Structure 1
């Protein structure tokens, strides 16, 4: 019996190969998209899962009235471990702040992040050097490791795991150090580095004011994390209150709290960070599921539409004694064959598209990975889509009554008609949402690219550097040499460049009111180099000696935060220094469009600041190439510590990376819109063919009675036109809510436009009319006699 059913199934699929091709092709395209999305979802949600203590590791962060941060001070980890027995281990890490040059003869590597970690943090994070994790001896010993790739570059012929001596900085710097071995840099982790230095302790001598470390704790399984979080908050306040007598400061400390952020949160939705990657992942996942649902709808619609052709077969089989359950299994087998063929084709399509997908999302995914979840997910999806897309058509087909069918009185039920129409409306509704989403994303990206940033990134070159220029007099000879090169208009150095990275923050008091604001330590010509506009007062100038001691410039957001009136000339206090405000600059979008401009103070001298290493140059456009060539040639004389290692990036390209996630989303929505429209049109094409063929005699009678071709086209298109119009009307509120929520993730955004909603209706209606008209053309042009000669 199975063999006979299989033969009938294959014969029917071949006989209706046009519909079969549309069914398999549409499903294969949707499945291929679903496979890629599934791979990416698994990748993004499995960061750090190889860590054996994954579920028990937390980052300790701080909460202030106006911000959250993951950065804490060095003593805190040790105090936590000493006070709470449920904390099995606690350690700290610190990211590198410069791109470190490491040399072995002529071989050079640039370590962008040479991280520091204490031994406890290395154990918590499961860091494993090639020789195994060793405990440093004594308080001062540091064991340094480079990642495998860097070690291969520096020592291409190395076959053992012995320690090696390397040079740091320029070849003639004379600075050397020991690399104890290599360490695998797990790129599928939140903790990545080019090199790492491990000590028993790091940050010795730094108090609770030095909040530039990350504290990790490992708790016992089953720990009440909420209770522990509260106890750590109480401990932190107690530590800060030691020796404090000022009542206002005491009150402010009591407003500070801590939080515990699971390791599982750090990649996609950190408590003290941006959860845009998580939202994009969810959006991408929903898109993948919806595309698959649309393909299943197509499948169901076309299968029901084909029901009339199988009616007599069902009638004969039932007369011969076949049960409904047997017929249901037969039709499900046919559907499974199509779904299986679609799955094989989907794997081929996904493999072909994977290189482009990897480039778009900057990942290295593979379908044929032995531990890939796809190997159990895909068979499950295959069975699910067989049941979802095939159950109702199989029940409809197997439920025909033999007497009615064999008398020739058969017609599909109104319920089937309503279902087909409803599914078609749903398909085009989803397609309309994707079109609206794509158009609004395009509008927001266009706005971001054309909006005034408040500073000029063009023609600004950021030079990577390892020298420290915290004292202005140290940068003077470097600036003088740089400015002698033709085409260079200005040069400056600072702790941060406006590339989206957040600067440090600290408490500053103005007229008795303390608030936490960001700080950036700069040098002369910082604002001029970036073309930042002055609103009030003046910029820093070498003509004013106090500028290098206690002068500060603030932005408009700082003025608004403190409610300042005529701030120039007034005092703002921070880091035990009274700063005289000499200028106010207009706000500029250093952190991009997703975050509002933060209140920021700029000073040349900051006892609590970071190292000034970021050199920026403003270069004339027509002299850019010559100036860069001259800088490269003269750099050993200009900045001997860097020596021959001159390297740079254009600031506009650095800033442009802030748009990367939204550009990815734009590409995804473009692909999703094309796929959904293509799949919907495929289904519509076949459905229109079935509908038109069922009305051949009606069309013939109308033509005999004098109906014109235009009237016939209008008649056939009218029902489809109404369904697509209804689909758009239903999709608009959904699209409005979703796009509004997406736009709300931007501090600076467009107003929700009407044009995308109208455009989606026009596009879907136009495509529907064209598709249906192409299919109806044959019926309209046919001779009425051919349709009615047997009547």
Structure 2
């Protein structure tokens, strides 16, 4: 019986090759999109899951009165381990991404930007295992430095063992050497991806609770009450900060500080002290993939039902011959399973073909053919599900025809079936409309972000990578003079940070009795001029004022608003045990991009609590850019001897442009999703139009005999579809409004929700509907009425 059903199924599919191709092709395309999204979802949600202690590892963070951060001080890990038996281990790490370090073996060189410093305990917690195993530094060896395998191969291409090697750091003339203990495999599927790792018995030695530049990790025993532990660590931390403190105001401020524990599982997508935009985008993509598959199943269902008229007599004869409905249902499900199976195979081919573009868009390295790929068990499950979801209703409809009616050439489906089919079509177009509106609004927001005034000028600013410290303005003065001699270089400065969206340091500053947290950026002369930042009041730093290098400060408008300052120029603001005189107010500029509000910031030349000034920025004339860069490369060893021959740079506008990357990915995904949903919805519409026109052939014939014109019949057939698509727009508009409004709310600086995308979506869907239905109805309209009425 199965063999017979299989033959019948294959014969029917072959006889209706056009519809079969549309059915299978539409489902295959949707399933390919679903496969890619499922792989990406699995990849993004499984960071660090190879760590055997994954579920018991937490990041220790601080909550200050006006900010939250993952940065803590070195002593905290020790006291946590000593005081709480439920904490199995505690350690700290630090990574400096502000400058690149050149590591060389003769003429072979690498430039490392992510060297992870970790104490031995943190290395154990985070499962950092060099080749040959994790070794605890002992004796005179304070730290063991490892480079990832790729870097070791670059420096030592002929190396066969894992023995230590001597290398040099910085320029060839620096004379700084060190030992590389061995190689380590860099787990790129981890939050702790690095060029190399430096493991010490202890890092941050001698630093007190004021040095919050480290990340603290703890590993708790299974079953630990984390909320209770968090409260106990908060009390301990406050007690540590209060030791020796007598100032009542400071004591009250310390009582407002607390600790939070954030699971390792949160760190990649939604850290408590970070941005959860990647998580929201991942959820959006996942919903897109799921909805595309759902509307493909709906389309499959409608196409299958559209073929019902051609299978009615077959069903009638089989029932007369004694076939049961269950047997017929099984036969039709077999046909649908074959189509789904072919669609799945084609989907794998499509997904494999699209994978390079997908990997390039989302900056990942996914592959279908991987031993640990969950698709090997997920796809068979999805195949069975879509067979049931897309096939059970058509199978029941086809197997339910009454022999007496269908053998006479007359049959009809129930009103409930019609309502369901209409509802499915409306649902398809509702999803398509939401995607179209979403695409238009994403495009509008990205256009706004690219064209909006940032408050500073990134164009023609070159960020030069450098490892020299220029905290002393006199030291950089010599460098600046040399740089300005290069034709085309208009200005030069150095700072602790560049406006590329990365976070600045933060500290407490007191103004007229109010202590609040401010971001700080340590700069040099010409910082504001190089970036073309506008002055609101007062002045910027100038060599003409000798006190500017000692205790002058410039604040931005947000800092003025935070303190409620009135006429702050000339007044004092205190921080880092220094009284700063406010000499100027800079206009706000979007250093962190559009998703975060502009942070209240203080700019100083001298900051005892600051970071190293290493970020050199040059403003270069556009017409002389190429010549200036060539001259800088040639003369860099004389200009900045510590960097020597290692001249490296990036354009600041390219760095800042990376802040738009996630939203551009979402834009591309919505564009693809909109095209797919429109395409699949049109296929569904094509099927439904075919079904309706086939069911109304006799009505059309009678109307033509009574004198109806082709235009009138086209209008008649289109009217019902027009109403359904109009209903789809009306239903989808509120949903699209809510979703896009919530998405726009993730931006601190955004467009007002426009009306045009809603109108455009209606026009696009109505136009496509009229064209599709008219093309399908043309055959019925042009048919000879005699052929439709000859059996009456």
TM-score (norm 2): 0.99
In structure 2, C-alpha distance between the alignment counterparts of 1:72 and 1:729, rounded to whole Å: 52
Contact 1:102 1:111 in 2 (8 A): yes
Deviation at 1:408, TM superposition (A): 4.1
1:34 aligns with 2:34: yes
Matched, 1:536 2:528: no
In 1, Cα distance between the equivalents of 2:72 and 2:141? 22
Q: Which moved more, 1:405-414 or 1:577-586?
A: 405-414
Report how far residue 139 of structure 1 moved: 7.6
Alpha-carbon deviation of 1:19?
Answer: 1.7
TM-aligned CA deviation for residue 693 of structure 1? 2.8
Query: Is residue 728 of structure 2 the alignment partner of residue 724 of structure 1?
Result: no
CA distance in 2, matches of 1:409, 1:75: 86
1:260-659 → structure 2 map (5 Å cutoff): 260-659=261-660
| Deviation larger for 301-310 or 544-553 | 301-310
| Contact 1:507-1:517 at 8 Å conserved across structures | yes
1:491–1:617 contact (8 Å) kept in structure 2: yes
Q: What is the DSSP-based 3-state SS (H/G/I as helix, E as strand, rest coil) of the residue aligned with 1:458?
A: coil
Q: What's the offset of the Cα at 1:73? A: 0.4
Q: Give SS of 2:407's match.
A: helix
Shift of 1:777: 2.0
CA drift of 1:685 comes to: 1.5
- Structure 2 distance, partners of 1:374, 1:254, is 51
1:22–1:683 contact (8 Å) kept in structure 2:
no
Q: In structure 1, what is the equivalent of residue 231 of structure 2? A: 230
| Counterpart-to-counterpart distance in 2, 1:174 and 1:457 | 36
CA contact (8 A) 2:74 2:203 kept: yes
Aligned-partner Cα distance in 2 for 1:690–1:271? 53
In the alignment, structure 1 segments of 5+ residues that lack a partner are none
Residues 683-722 of structure 1 correspond to what in structure 2 (within 5 A)?
A: 683-722=684-723
Checking the alignment, whether the CA contact within 8 Å between 1:304 and 1:416 is kept in structure 2 is no
Aligned to 1:240: 241
Map Cα deviations across residues 733-759 of structure 1 (whole Å, 9 max, x no partner). 100010000000000000000000010
Matched residues in 2 for 1:39 and 1:220: separation?
Answer: 32
The yes-or-no answer on 1:84 pairing with 2:80 is no
Per-residue CA shift, 1:646-688, capped at 9, x if unaligned? 0000000000000000000000000000000001111212221
Aligned partners of 1:130 and 1:183 also within 8 Å: yes
Mean Cα deviation higher: 5-14 or 346-355 = 5-14
1:83-122 map, 5 Å: 83-96=83-96, 97-122=98-123
Distance across 1 between alignment mates of 2:2 and 2:150? 57
Kindly state the Cα deviation for residue 703 of structure 1 after the two structures are TM-superposed.
2.5
Closer, same or farther: CA 780–409 of 1 in aligned 2, 3 Å: closer
Deviations 1:755-784 (A, max 9, x none): 000100000110111111111222223344
Deviation at 1:702, TM superposition (A): 2.0
> Once the 2 structures are TM-superposed, how far is the Cα of residue 396 of structure 1 from its aligned partner?
1.9
Counterpart-to-counterpart distance in 2, 1:725 and 1:655: 42
Looking at structure 2, the residues matched to 46 and 420 of structure 1 have their Cα atoms a distance apart, in angstroms, of 39
2:144, 2:779 → 1: CA distance?
80
Which secondary structure does the structure 2 equivalent of 1:753 belong to? coil
State the Cα distance separating 1:10 from its structure 2 match: 1.3
- Structure 2's unaligned 5+ residue stretches are none
Post-superposition Cα deviations, 1:234-259, rounded to whole Å, max 9, x if no partner, equal 11101100110111110010000010
CA contact (8 A) 1:139 1:201 kept: no
TM-superposed deviation, 1:727: 0.4
Q: Distance in 2 between matches of 1:98 and 1:197?
A: 16
CA distance in 1, matches of 2:307, 2:785: 24
**Structure-1 separation of matches of 2:321 and 2:672:** 50
Displacement of 1:4 after TM fit?
1.1
What secondary structure, in the 3-state scheme, does the structure 1 residue paired with 2:188 have? coil
1:94 is displaced (CA, Å) by 0.6
Do the aligned partners of 2:302 and 2:687 also contact (CA within 8 Å) in 1? no
Deviation at 1:711, TM superposition (A): 1.3
CA distance in 2, matches of 1:205, 1:544: 36
3-state SS of paired residue (2:547): helix
Query: What SS does structure 1 have at the residue aligned with 2:88?
Result: strand
Q: Is the 8 A contact 2:167 2:179 kept in 1?
A: yes
Partner of 1:778: 779
Task: Work out the CA distance in 1 between the residues paired with 2:715 and 2:757.
Answer: 27
Q: Tell whether 2:20 aligns with 1:20.
A: yes
Q: In the alignment, what sits opposite 2:5?
A: 5
Contact 1:506 1:516 in 2 (8 A): yes
Contact 2:58 2:262 (8 Å CA) reproduced: yes
Whole-angstrom CA distance in 1 between matches of 2:408 and 2:772: 35
Q: Deviations over 1:165-184 (max 9, x none)?
A: 10100011101111111111
Match of 2:780, SS? helix
SS at 1:634 equivalent = helix
Q: State whether residues 139 and 199 of structure 1, in contact with CA within 8 Å, keep that contact through their aligned partners in structure 2.
A: no
Which residue does the alignment assign to 1:739? 740
| Counterpart for residue 197 of structure 2 | 196
Mapped partners of 1:382, 1:437: distance in 2: 30
* Cα distance in 2 for residues equivalent to 1:115 and 1:540: 35
CA–CA separation in structure 1 for the residues paired with 2:536 and 2:454: 15
Q: 1:501 to 1:219 in 2, by over 3 A?
A: same
Shift of 1:315: 2.4
Contact 2:32/2:350 (8 A) holds in 1: yes
* 1:177-216 equivalent positions in 2, closer than 5 A: 177-216=178-217
SS at match of 2:379: helix
Larger deviation, residues 748-757 vs 411-420: 411-420
Aligned mates of 2:561, 2:354 — CA distance in 1: 50
TM-fit CA distance, 1:157:
0.6
How far apart, in 1, do the equivalents of 2:392 and 2:90 lie? 55
Q: CA RMSD in A?
A: 1.1
Query: Helix, strand or coil: the match of 1:545?
Result: coil
Once the two structures are TM-superposed, the CA of residue 395 in structure 1 deviates from its matched residue by 1.7
Per the alignment, residue 751 of structure 1 pairs with 752
SS in 1 for 2:146: strand
The number of equivalent residue pairs is 791
Q: Secondary structure in 2 aligned to 1:581?
A: strand
8 Å CA contact retained: 1:66, 1:516 = yes
| Local SS of the residue matching 1:466 | coil
Deviates more, 1:155-164 or 1:703-712: 703-712
**What is the distance in 2 between the residues matched to 1:409 and 1:168?**
88
Query: 2:305 touches 2:691 (CA, 8 Å); kept in 1?
Result: no
Structure 2 residue matching 1:549: 3-state secondary structure: helix
Deviates more, 1:158-167 or 1:321-330: 321-330
- Using the TM superposition, give the Cα deviation of residue 705 of structure 1 relative to its aligned residue in structure 2, in angstroms: 2.4
Shift of 1:138: 4.2
Distance 2:710 2:243 in 1: 92
Q: Deviations over 1:610-643 (max 9, x none)?
A: 0000000000010001111110011000000000
Query: Are 2:147 and 1:146 equivalent residues in the alignment?
Result: yes
Give the Cα separation in 2 of the matches to 1:430 and 1:638.
Answer: 60
Q: Which moved more, 1:91-100 or 1:773-782?
A: 773-782
Give 1:789 deviation, angstroms: 5.1
CA shift, 1:330, in A, is: 1.4
1:157-201 alpha-carbon deviations (Å, 9 max, x no partner): 111111111010001110111111111111000011111111100
3-state SS of paired residue (2:684): helix
Deviation of 1:454 (Å): 0.2
CA displacement, residues 685-713 of structure 1 (integer Å, 9 cap, x when unaligned)? 22212322332332233223222222121
Tell me the SS of whatever aligns to 1:543: coil
691-700 or 721-730: which moved more?
Answer: 691-700
Q: Hey, what's the Cα distance between the residues in 2 that align with 1:263 and 1:139?
A: 34
